[in-house]
Amino acid sequence: MKINQYSQKEKQKEFEQNLSFQEWLNYFQKEPTIKELDEMEKDINKHNKQFFNPLNNTSYHPLQGA
C-alpha cells in the first residue's frame, strides 16, 4: 500500500515538474464547484461571527445610511 502511494506521489511530482507555467496554471486553476463555494461561504460566515460580532461594546456604532 505504501509503495503504491509513494509511486503515485512520485509520478505526480514528475508530471507537475514537466508542465510549462501556462499548462500548470490551467491544470490547477479550476472554477470552484457550487458545493465548494457554499463551504467557503459557511467558513467565512462562521469566522466573521467569532471575530467581528460586537458583544457589549459601548463604543460600537454601526454605520448609518446617508
Q: Where are the domains of the chain?
A: 2-52
What would the DSSP string read from start to end of 1-65? -HHHHHHHHHHHHHHHHHS-HHHHHHHH--PPPHHHHHHHHHHHHHHHHHHH---S-TT--PPPP
C-alpha cell at 38: 457554499
Per-residue pLDDT reduced to its tens digit, 2-34? 788 888 888 888 877 777 777 777 777 888 889
- Amino acid in the structure at residue 4: N
Per-residue pLDDT reduced to its tens digit, 42-62? 888 877 766 665 566 667 677
Provide CB contacts within 8 A for 7, sequence distance 6+: none
Query: Is this prediction's pTM over 0.95?
Result: no
